[in-house]
Amino acid sequence: IAVISVNLALFNLLPIPALDGSRLLFALVELLTRRRVPPRVETLVHTLGFVLLLGLLVLITARDLLRLFG
């Protein structure tokens, strides 16, 4: 179970929008540019990332189900 926890933590730190890693990336951008990323931009990026991750989840699930029952 420890291996699963470590893998989940590492996956969550990837700079993919909607995960914690993207928040770290935004913080790094703000640090380097010394300007705040507009909240609207951050919200849009996280929303698009979430939709893409959800779409990927649906696609993978559908392919697995087709392979299993098709």
Task: Write out pLDDT tens, residues 8-46.
Answer: 999 999 999 988 999 999 999 999 999 999 999 999 999
Tally of domains in the chain: 1
Residue 53 confidence (pLDDT): 93
The amino acid that residue 9 corresponds to is: A
Helix residue ranges, H only, the chain: 2-12, 20-33, 39-69
**pLDDT for 61:** 98
DSSP string of 52-68, one letter each residue: HHHHHHHHHHHHHHHHH
Helix axes 39-69, 20-33, angle to 10 degrees: 150
Q: Is the confidence at residue 70, as pLDDT, over 90?
A: no
The pTM score is 0.79
Domain that holds residue 29: 2-69
